[in-house]
């Protein structure tokens, strides 16, 4: 009997094998491929092959429950939508190219679910949201739960989850950041009384094997994970929750490029299960789908314990003179001192890692830039090195000057380390900590979180990581060191990102009921921008943003597909980019813009040109473009990367 076997590699079709085994679609098998043995899955269609070729035999079937046909349909669709080979979609589901055979039951015991009865009483508003959320739980639908930060959204969807777990369904909760999982896991255990499986890139291989197998065999009921958990082979998936659905971190922008939120919705469609999107401020795409009636919707306006949202104060830096190498005004220092006297925790917010983003010699005027990328190196004082935040290149500060002796450096602009130094000088008796991806993705990060919660740390200096769902009950003062840094420059989604960032950020304050204030330091006299992003009703801003996008034919009203062409020879790359544009323009109905130098023109030693397809809101754009691209032969050393629905344009 001939069987089609899809293999986890760059091919867009299954290979034909022979087998005397009783195989069905979805079975995991081991087959010979070249000189090696490889794991594959019996697929739902044969390769289209006209030539005669020798057919090899399937070696054996693995003891793994068959991959569901609905999941196979999802992977086929995922491949088409994101314009990647089907084999690469399968690779996302397998573990390093392998399927894990059933393990002994004692491996899954720590995830055994014994639901406890939670004693949390929902408010009337929360009950109403839960009823609406549970209405259509037996089939595919998307429900958006929008709630002010600190309004108890998590408890509402935990109640919705409980109903399905009792019916023996599995559930998946997607989180945008690894750093959120430890605090979230604790909250989950307190509510449900059992341990969920945690899935992200830092989990050990042994634990990944156990979780993958436990999910495939239906032994694990709850998974909390980052993007990649979406591709686990669930046996009986009943619900997917996308927490912080607006978060840009759901976009995977290396390797196989996809948006995990959008793909979660698509997996829900193919599995015919409900999807819950959770947010304080919806993405523009989600807001548009609510307005069109595609998604159902409920809202929580009241914070826990009826806590008020923070007040906002603008500190005009034009009216105060900052000291030399100082970034904090005397007015801000006075405000912070008054909060510290009341035992309030304080956060200084600046969305820049490191000490200084720009290092220049004042004698030879030469700056430090990355030899691999067309960007400046960031000075990290604590690690005593200069670092490229894109390729990871590191170097030391010492350098011989082009004029004479060694360079005499000027550090331009602040990062969180620089603000931390100033804070320690201004408040020497207070315990401070930097809260960024450099400090909070370490093994001791859960201990640091506990210290912050217990108010053993009085002052935090943080990047945007701190805005993502953490609960700090004593935080009642936030100082935005320089809002002008995040509002400058053009970015299609810049206004939307700022709205979400500062709503989330302000939501960290005043969560336990005490009065709280967010202070914005700015040189910008146009305060409308700050008023827009701090408005208690973000829907007003989102309505305006939708109107603007519609008027200019921007997403979500048109489909954008970015084509990034990379290579080591700039002139050859430019020539090929123009040839490629002319080639696709002849056959594609949609508009092709570019090629232009990418904003980061050189990245990881390779030059980058960008083309942008602006097309209809239909997958026909992808299918047409994929056929055209397959006919163009790129020279060796030149690579094409496709980004459907791009979020960043670097």
Tokens of 458: 């009085």
Q: What would the mean pLDDT of 505-513 be, rounded to a whole number?
A: 76
481 and 502 share a domain?
A: yes
For 537-591, what is each residue's pLDDT tens digit?
Answer: 788 889 988 999 999 999 999 999 999 999 999 999 999 999 999 999 998 989 9
Of the listed ranges 219-223, 523-527, 542-546, 562-566, the one predicted with least confidence = 523-527
Residues 48 and 89 reside in one and the same domain = yes
Is residue 94's pLDDT more than 80? yes
Residue 464 vs residue 595, higher pLDDT: 595
- The CATH number of the domain where 40 resides is what? 3.40.1440.60
Q: Tokens 């634990």 correspond to what residue?
A: 207
- Please list, in sequence order, all residues whose beta carbon lies within 8 angstroms of the beta carbon of residue 149, skipping any fewer than 6 positions away: 280, 303, 503, 504, 506, 507, 508, 511
Does residue 6 lie within any of the structural domains? Answer: yes
How much is the pLDDT for 172? 97
Task: Based on the fold, state whether residues 154 and 299 are members of the same structural domain.
Answer: yes
**Same domain, yes or no: 150 and 240:** yes
Domain boundary among 508, 526, 547: 547
Residue 92: what are its φ and ψ, rounded to 5°?
-65, -30
Q: How far apart are CA 186 and CA 195, in angstroms?
A: 9
- The answer to whether 313 and 519 have CB atoms below 8 angstroms apart is yes
State how far Cα 360 lies from the chain centre.
Answer: 33
What is the token pair recorded at 510? 């005043």
What's the CA gap between 81 and 188, in Å, rounded?
34
Burial of 24 (0-12, 13-18, 19+ CB in 10 A): exposed
| pLDDT surpasses 80 at 385 | yes
For residue 173, pLDDT over 70 is answered with yes
The predicted pLDDT at position 527 comes to 65
- Taking CA 106 as the corner, what is the angle to CA 100 and CA 107, rounded to the nearest 5 degrees? 35
Q: Residue 66 carries which DSSP code?
A: P
Q: Return the pLDDT at 438.
A: 81
pLDDT of 51 strictly over 90: no
Whether the CB-CB separation of 148 and 219 falls below 8 Å is answered with no
Look at the block and give the residue holding tokens 């935990």. 158
Question: Which residues span the domain enclosing 626?
Answer: 559-644
Main-chain dihedrals φ then ψ at residue 341, nearest 5 degrees: -65, -30
Q: Is 249 helix (H, G, I), strand (E, B) or coil?
A: helix
Q: Give all strands of the β-sheet with 36-42 in edge-to-edge order.
A: 15-18, 2-6, 36-42, 28-33, 60-61
The Cα–Cα gap between 445 and 244 comes to: 21
Q: Which residue has the higher pLDDT, 466 or 335?
A: 335
CA separation (Å) from 320 to 326, 414, 434, 522, 526? Answer: 12, 18, 26, 11, 17
C-alpha separations of 310 from 252, 348, 383, 534 in Å: 33, 15, 35, 10
Q: What CA–CA distances, in Å, run from 104 to 100, 109, 235, 293?
A: 12, 10, 17, 47
Q: Kindly report, residue by residue over 109-165, the tens digit of the pLDDT.
A: 888 878 877 778 888 999 999 999 888 777 999 999 999 887 889 999 999 999 899
Q: How confident is the model at residue 488 (pLDDT cuts 50, 70, 90)?
A: low
Whether residue 134 is found in the same domain as residue 214: yes
> Is residue 489 scored above 70 in pLDDT?
no
Same domain for 348 and 482?
Answer: yes
Give a yes or no: residue 357 inside a domain. no
d(CA 140, CA 98) in angstroms, rounded, equals 30
Say how far apart CA 435 and CA 325 lie, in whole Å.
Answer: 22
Interhelix angle for 181-192 vs 153-166, to 10°? 60
Whole-number pLDDT of residue 73:
97
Residue 101: inside a domain: no
Res. 442 pLDDT band, cuts 50 70 90: low
Q: Is the pLDDT of residue 183 over 60?
A: yes
User: What percent of the chain has pLDDT above 70?
Assistant: 95
Kindly indicate the confidence band of residue 76, based on its pLDDT and cuts at 50, 70 and 90: very high
Cis? peptide before 556, omega within 30° of 0: yes
Query: Is 286 a residue whose pLDDT tops 70?
Result: yes
| Spatial distance between the Cα atoms of 361 and 374, rounded to a whole number of angstroms | 19
Q: What is the domain-level CATH number for residue 591?
A: 3.30.70.600
pLDDT of residue 204: 92
Domain assignment of residue 474, yes or no: yes
Would you state the structure tokens that stand for residue 176, as one six-digit string?
Answer: 């945008």
One domain, residues 537 and 569: no
Looking at residue 312, the DSSP 8-state letter turns out to be E
How many structural domains are present in the chain?
Answer: 4
* Residue 335 falls inside a structural domain: yes
**Considering the entire predicted model, what is its pTM?**
0.91
303 pLDDT above the threshold of 80: no
Domain end, chosen from 547, 568, 600, is at 547
pLDDT of residue 504: 81
Claim to verify: residue 537 and residue 419 sit in the same structural domain: yes
Burial environment of residue 366 by CB neighbours within 10 A (0 to 12, 13 to 18, 19 or more)? middle
* Same domain, yes or no: 439 and 491: yes
Residues forming a β-bridge with 259? 251
Q: What is the pLDDT of residue 558?
A: 92
Comparing CA positions, the residue from 375, 88, 496 lying closest to residue 252 is 88
Q: Given this model, what pLDDT does residue 256 score?
A: 95
CA within 13 Å, CB half, 412: 10
Answer whether residue 391 is part of any domain.
Answer: no
Q: Is the pLDDT of residue 248 over 60?
A: yes
pLDDT digit string, tens, across residues 1-16: 899 999 999 999 999 9
Round to whole Å and give the CA distance between 386 and 389: 10
Which stretch of DSSP H or E encloses residue 541? helix 538-551
Least confident of 113-117, 171-175, 213-217, 590-594: 113-117
Last residue of a domain, one of 490, 521, 547: 547
Q: What is the dihedral of CA 525, 538, 471, 445, to 10 degrees?
A: -70
- Cα separation, 157 vs 224, whole angstroms: 13
For the ranges 31-35, 119-123, 501-505, the maximum mean pLDDT occurs at: 31-35
Do 311 and 298 share a structural domain? no
Residue 642: helix, strand or coil by DSSP?
strand
What's the CA gap between 271 and 71, in Å, rounded? 7
- Say yes or no: 50 and 186 in one domain: no
Number of residues in the chain: 650
What is each CA distance from 355 to 346, 350, 383, 477, 484, in whole angstroms? 20, 11, 10, 23, 18
The pLDDT of 214-222, averaged and rounded, is 95
Closest CA to 243 of 270, 220, 225: 225
- On whether residue 256 sits in a domain, the answer given is yes
Question: How far apart, in whole angstroms, are the C-alpha atoms of residue 371 and residue 378?
Answer: 13
Residue 459 and residue 427 in contact, taking contact as beta carbons nearer than 8 Å: yes
For residues 613-619, average pLDDT: 86
8 Å CB contact between 614 and 557: no
Looking at every residue in the chain, the average pLDDT score rounds to: 89
Whether residue 363 lies inside any domain: the answer is no
Per-residue confidence (pLDDT) for residue 500, from 0 to 100? 83
Pairwise pLDDT comparison (504 vs 206), residue with the higher score: 206
Residue of 441 and 386 predicted with greater confidence: 386
pLDDT at 487 over 60: no
Helix, strand and coil in the chain, % to nearest 5: 35, 25, 40
The predicted model gives 627-647 an average pLDDT of 94
CA-based R_g, the chain, Å: 26
Q: How many CA atoms lie within 13 A of 516 on its CB side?
A: 27
CA-closest candidate to residue 390, choices 97, 104, 650: 650
Q: Residue 236 sits in a domain of what CATH number?
A: 3.40.50.300
Residues 114 and 198 in one domain: yes
- Cα 542 from chain centre: 21
The pair of three-digit structure tokens given for residue 355, joined into one six-digit string: 């000490």
């Amino acid at each position: 009997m001939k069987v089609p076997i899809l293999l986890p590699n760059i091919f867009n079709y299954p290979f034909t094998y022979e087998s005397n085994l009783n195989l069905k679609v979805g079975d995991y098998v081991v087959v010979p491929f070249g000189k090696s043995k490889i794991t594959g899955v019996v697929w739902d269609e044969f390769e289209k092959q006209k030539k005669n070729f020798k057919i090899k035999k399937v070696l054996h079937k693995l003891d793994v429950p068959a991959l569901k046909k609905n999941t196979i349909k999802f992977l086929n669709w995922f491949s088409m939508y994101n314009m990647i080979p089907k084999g690469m979609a399968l690779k996302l589901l397998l573990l390093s190219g392998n399927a894990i055979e059933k393990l002994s039951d004692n491996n899954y015991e720590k995830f055994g679910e014994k639901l406890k009865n939670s004693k949390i009483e929902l408010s009337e508003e929360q009950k109403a949201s839960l009823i609406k959320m549970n209405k259509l739980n037996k089939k595919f639908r998307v429900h958006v739960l929008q709630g002010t930060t600190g309004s108890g959204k998590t408890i509402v969807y935990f109640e919705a989850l409980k109903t399905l777990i009792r019916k023996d369904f599995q559930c998946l909760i997607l989180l945008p950041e690894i750093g959120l999982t430890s605090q979230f896991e604790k909250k989950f255990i307190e509510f449900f009384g059992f341990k969920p499986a945690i899935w992200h890139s830092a989990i050990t291989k042994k634990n990944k094997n156990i979780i993958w197998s436990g999910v495939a065999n239906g032994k694990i009921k709850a998974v909390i994970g980052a993007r990649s958990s979406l591709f686990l082979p669930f046996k009986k998936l009943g619900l997917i929750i996308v927490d912080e659905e607006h978060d840009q971190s759901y976009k995977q922008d290396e390797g196989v490029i996809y948006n995990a939120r959008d793909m979660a919705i698509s997996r829900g469609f193919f599995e015919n299960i409900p999807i819950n999107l959770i947010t304080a401020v919806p993405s523009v795409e989600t807001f548009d789908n609510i307005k069109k009636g595609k998604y159902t919707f409920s809202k929580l306006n009241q914070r826990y314990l009826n806590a008020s949202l923070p007040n906002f104060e603008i500190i005009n830096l034009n009216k105060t003179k900052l000291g030399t190498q100082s970034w904090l005004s005397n007015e801000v220092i006075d405000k912070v001192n008054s909060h510290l006297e009341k035992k309030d925790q304080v956060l200084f917010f600046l969305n820049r890692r490191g000490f200084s983003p720009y290092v220049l010699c004042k004698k030879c005027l030469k700056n430090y830039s990355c030899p691999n990328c067309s960007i400046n190196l960031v000075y990290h004082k604590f690690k005593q090195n200069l670092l490229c935040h894109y390729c990871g290149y590191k170097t030391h500060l010492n350098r011989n000057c082009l004029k004479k002796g060694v360079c005499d450096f000027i550090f331009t602009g602040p990062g969180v380390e620089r603000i931390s130094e100033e804070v320690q000088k201004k408040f020497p008796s207070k315990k401070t900590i930097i809260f960024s991806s450099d400090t909070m993705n370490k093994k001791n990060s859960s201990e640091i979180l506990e210290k912050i919660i217990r108010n053993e740390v009085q002052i935090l200096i943080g990047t945007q990581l701190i805005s993502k769902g953490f609960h700090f009950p004593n935080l009642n003062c936030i100082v935005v060191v320089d809002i002008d840094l995040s509002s400058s420059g053009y970015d299609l989604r810049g206004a939307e990102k700022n709205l979400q960032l500062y709503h989330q950020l302000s939501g960290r304050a005043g969560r336990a009921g005490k009065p709280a204030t967010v202070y914005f330091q700015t040189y910008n006299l146009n305060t409308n921008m700050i008023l827009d992003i701090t408005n208690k009703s973000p829907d007003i801003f989102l309505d305006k943003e939708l109107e603007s996008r519609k008027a200019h034919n921007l997403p979500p009203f048109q489909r954008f597909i970015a084509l990034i062409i990379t290579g080591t020879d700039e002139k050859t790359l430019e020539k090929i980019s123009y040839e490629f544009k002319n080639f696709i323009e002849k056959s594609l109905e949609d508009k092709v813009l570019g090629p232009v130098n990418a904003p980061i023109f050189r990245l990881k030693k390779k030059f980058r040109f960008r083309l942008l397809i602006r097309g209809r809101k239909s997958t026909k754009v992808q299918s047409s473009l994929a056929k055209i691209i397959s006919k163009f032969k790129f020279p060796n050393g030149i690579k094409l990367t496709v980004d459907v629905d791009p979020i960043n344009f670097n």
